Amino acid sequence: MRVIGLTGGIGSGKSTVARLFAEQGVPVIDTDEIAHALSTPPSPALAQIAQTFGPEFLSEDGSLDRVRMRQHVYAEPTAKKKLEAIFHPRIKDTAIQMLDALPEQTPYAILAVPLLFETGNYNQIIDRSLIVDCSIELQIARVQARNGLSQHEIEAIIASQCPRKARIELADDIILNETTLAHLQSTVSALHQRYQD
């Protein structure tokens, strides 16, 4: 089974592309979903969050206070490394378990990793990398429409991710997502045929 690492900057359309592959019957393992599960109680990661950052970083229901943590991470550079040390090994282990559980005859699976190139954690797992790309202006517009974040917050997130030029150079395959959903669907269909061979 081949593993295709799917990535792209915030607002590029990774989730839409992942959904389109899933609609073709392709198994999609999304590390964002794994991270979300790990930040919802019960989870050993949350006990470590409280111990490392303080109980104020957990919500009343015991889940991760994402807004507070995001603000802290962007204000305090060392906080990001501490947070990643708690979550990244657990996310990777879970992703590997999910891949191992797929039927042997599966031609390929999509492993969606927002920070695929930044962490380097998945280099030994993936066979090819696929990025979803669009202009930075379009990224900002999409995230503002979706999340209501300020331009300054979005630019800070973009700056913390792998630069667009570097991502393009590292990618095996690129989907340019700047036009219509129909164009995106046809691009995914063509890649689906290729990946099955």
120 known member of a binding site: no
First to last CA, the chain: 11
- 16: annotated binding-site residue? yes
Annotation-wise, does 187 bind a ligand? no
62 is an annotated ligand-binding site residue? no
φ, ψ of residue 22 to 5 degrees: the values are -60, -35
Instruction: Spell 114-149 as b/e; 16+ CB within 10 A means b.
Output: bbbbebebbeeebebbbbbbbeeebbbebbeeeeeb
Q: How many CB atoms lie within 10 A of CB 60?
A: 6
Quick one: which H or E segment has residue 174? strand 173-176
39 is in an annotated binding site: no
* 59 annotated to bind ligand: no
Closest residue by Cα to residue 57 from 30, 87, 34: 87
Q: How many helices (H) and strands (E) does the chain have?
A: 10, 5
Q: Residue ranges for the binding site for ATP? A: 11-16
